[in-house]
A and B are shown apart, each in its own frame.
Chain A
Amino acid sequence: MQKPIALTNNKKSIRLPVDKILPFLIPIIVILFWQVSSSLGWLSSSVLPSPMAVVQDGIKLTQSGELPKNLSISLYRATVGLLIGGGVGFILGFINGMSNTCRLLFDSSIQMFRNIPHLALIPLIILWLGINESAKISLVAIGTMFPVYINTFHGIRSVDPDLIEMGKSYELSRSQMFFKIIFPAALPQILVGIRYALGVMWTTLIVAETISASSGIGYMANNAEDFVDMETVILCIVVYAVLGKISDLVAKSFESLLLEWQNTGRSNV
């Protein structure tokens, strides 16, 4: 809920949505300080180009079509990797959470695999799949699979047994038990996993595109480094930050939509 503050001048009152302004305050101050430092010559453009120079570089690369092309390929890799990894993680979490036999069979092996840093698999993936799309998508998929798996598995395993017993007393079938009780009860934890996976998704993609790619935002940054093009390097970092923030906002919106009941309080009693 927004907390408006009232600035009164005898006749009119202006209301400022403080909750909406505050999160942007620090980034705005940093950018302003950065621009002023560059303009006054405190910061050399070879160390850190000014925000205006980065924006101009962004406009130039957008007009040439280079930025949209690399952005779309990065988004494609990220989305497909997340869908595959998240999907596999959810299915594994679901079957291991629901069945003790599956848990005994799979969980130990999955935990062993999970403890290998997935970025350490890059040389192996390149040897197996080369530097084409499937290599980068596979890396993103492996990275995002585990957060979704762990959270789905724990979400299902930690459903209140009293609710399960209540469902049994109502003679719910297995599918009814899953869709009416287990899945909604595990959903908050599953969404935590997805949110975490989104962070892993971008990190993995940056590394994969920097090491082995001929397109994408990571490739753009790497290529700019070769030409000592600081504006583009900074632009790529900013693009990653914006993409990360947008992903987080999308995940938060899903949480608000699907977990509406958590935001209700005892207002009418």
Chain B
Amino acid sequence: MNNNSMITIKNVNKTYDNLTALHDVNLDIKQGEFIALVGMSGGGKSTLLRLIAGLEKPTTGTVDINETETKSLMRVMFQEDRLLPWMSVLDNLSFGSKDKNTKAHAQELLELVELGDYVDHFPNQLSGGQKQRVALARALMSHPKILLLDEPLGALDALTRRKMQDLILDICQKQNLTTILVTHDVEEAARMADRIIVMKDSTNSYEEDCPKNRNAGQIGIVADRVLGEILEEPTLQKQTA
């Protein structure tokens, strides 16, 4: 493992009975890097994320995390908010936290996601976007070094989605989090990620480095090129910034 690497995936294969979900995946993710995994459904994006999260084990190959206390340093945010409906917003944040100053820290994070006044609310009193913001705050409670995002914005409307993208980007940059985002939306990937990995036929078939401080035009070109790789469209693949 490279000293600068946070996550190293070597020769990973994952099969379910006779179905191959991942085939010979090799990936090196640097500390503080924002990676987006994109591709068609069934391409292996979510399976790879679940292997990194430790929710499943690879059939062969290794997933190495460059930290000792791996789990508490890694948090997953799912497409569904997965908030506990019987707990208040504050209790949902404190859930599973080993922090001694839990309440103060939870309040601070709720302010960060602009939900400071919703401490005592129950999840069914919140909108979809608010729930996802609580889920994001909960993921940040234990000061993770790695944030795994499994299509967390998939169910949100366009405006809320854009706001959440900005919020996640801002938090990830300020806290220097190593982030892996699984998404179907190539524009979202081109807007947020430092590097886009295309998962196709159960392996990482293509990579695209995104320019820093990109403008809307560059985002569009990167998104077109990535889409061209996914759909195997030569005209899109040749797009240049």
B82 touches A166 (CB 8 A): yes
| Cβ-based interface call for B75 (8 A) | yes
| Cβ-based interface call for A172 (8 A) | yes
Interface string of A242-269 (1 = CB under 8 A from B): 0000000000000000010110111111
Tell me the chain A residues, 120-172 only, with Cβ under 8 Å from chain B.
162-163, 165-172
Q: A169-B53, A181-B84 are in contact. Are A261 and B71 (CB under 8 A)?
A: no
Q: A170-B95, A180-B84 are in contact. Are A165 and B55 (CB under 8 A)?
A: yes
B75 touches A169 (CB 8 A): yes
Tell me the chain B residues, 47-86 only, with Cβ under 8 Å from chain A.
53-55, 71-72, 75-76, 78, 80, 82, 84-86
B124 touches A162 (CB 8 A): no
| Cβ-based interface call for B96 (8 A) | yes
Q: A168-B55, A169-B55 are in contact. Are A184 and B124 (CB under 8 A)?
A: no
Q: Which residue of B lies closest to A167 (CB)?
A: B96
Give the docked Cα–Cα distance between A264 and B75 (Å).
29
Q: A162-B80, A266-B126, A266-B127 are in contact. Are A261 and B85 (CB under 8 A)?
A: yes
A266 touches B84 (CB 8 A): no
Give the docked Cα–Cα distance between A172 and B72 (Å).
11
Q: Kindly list chain B residues whose C-beta atoms are within 8 Å of the C-beta of A170.
A: 95-96
Tell me the chain A residues, 40-59 only, with Cβ under 8 Å from chain B.
none
Nearest CB of B to A168, in Å: 7
Give the docked Cα–Cα distance between A172 and B71 (Å).
11
Give the docked Cα–Cα distance between A166 and B121 (Å).
21
Q: Which residue of B lies closest to A183 (CB)?
A: B86
A171 touches B71 (CB 8 A): yes
Give the docked Cα–Cα distance between A259 and B87 (Å).
10
Partner of A266, one of B55, B71, B78, B124: B124
A261 touches B55 (CB 8 A): no
Give the interface centre of A166, A171, A181 by most chain B CB atoms within 10 Å.
A166
Q: A162-B78, A168-B55, A170-B96 are in contact. Are A264 and B122 (CB under 8 A)?
A: yes
Q: A169-B53, A169-B75 are in contact. Are A269 and B82 (CB under 8 A)?
A: no
How many chain A residues sit at the interface, stated as a range, is 20 to 34
Q: A168-B55, A261-B122, A269-B127 are in contact. Are A163 and B82 (CB under 8 A)?
A: yes
Q: Which residue of B lies closest to A163 (CB)?
A: B82
| Cβ-based interface call for B130 (8 A) | yes
| Cβ-based interface call for B176 (8 A) | no
Q: Which residue of A lies closest to B129 (CB)?
A: A269
Give the docked Cα–Cα distance between A181 and B53 (Å).
20
Partner of B86, one of A167, A168, A184, A268: A184
Q: Kindly list chain B residues whose C-beta atoms are within 8 Å of the C-beta of A171.
A: 71-72, 96
Q: A162-B80, A269-B127 are in contact. Are A261 and B86 (CB under 8 A)?
A: yes
Q: Kindly list chain B residues whose C-beta atoms are within 8 Å of the C-beta of A185.
A: 86
Q: Which residue of A lies closest to B127 (CB)?
A: A269
Q: Kindly list chain A residues whose C-beta atoms are within 8 Å of the C-beta of B121.
A: 264, 268
Give the interface centre of B87, B118, B122 by most chain A CB atoms within 10 Å.
B122
Q: Which residue of B lies closest to A171 (CB)?
A: B71
| Cβ-based interface call for B205 (8 A) | no
Give the docked Cα–Cα distance between A269 and B123 (Å).
11
Give the docked Cα–Cα distance between A167 and B80 (Å).
14
| Cβ-based interface call for B173 (8 A) | no
A266 touches B72 (CB 8 A): no
Partner of B84, one of A163, A259, A267: A163
Nearest CB of B to A71, in Å: 37
Nearest CB of B to A185, in Å: 8
B85 touches A269 (CB 8 A): no
Give the interface centre of A172, A259, A264 by most chain B CB atoms within 10 Å.
A264
| Cβ-based interface call for B125 (8 A) | yes
Tell me the chain B residues, 98-139 only, with Cβ under 8 Å from chain A.
118, 121-122, 124-127, 130
Nearest CB of B to A99, in Å: 21
Q: Kindly list chain A residues whose C-beta atoms are within 8 Å of the C-beta of B96.
A: 167, 170-172
What are 15 residue pairs bridging A and B, where the CB atoms are less than 8 Å apart in the complex? A162-B80, A162-B82, A163-B82, A166-B82, A167-B96, A168-B55, A169-B76, A170-B95, A171-B71, A264-B121, A266-B127, A267-B125, A268-B118, A268-B125, A269-B126
8 further A-B pairs in the complex, CB-CB below 8 A; given A262-B85, A265-B125: A166-B82, A167-B96, A170-B95, A184-B86, A261-B87, A261-B122, A264-B122, A268-B118
Give the 9 A-B residue pairs with the shortest CB-CB distance, closest first. A170-B96, A166-B82, A264-B122, A184-B86, A261-B122, A261-B86, A169-B76, A269-B127, A171-B71
A interface, CB within 8 angstroms of B: 162-163, 165-172, 180-181, 184-185, 187, 259, 261-262, 264-269
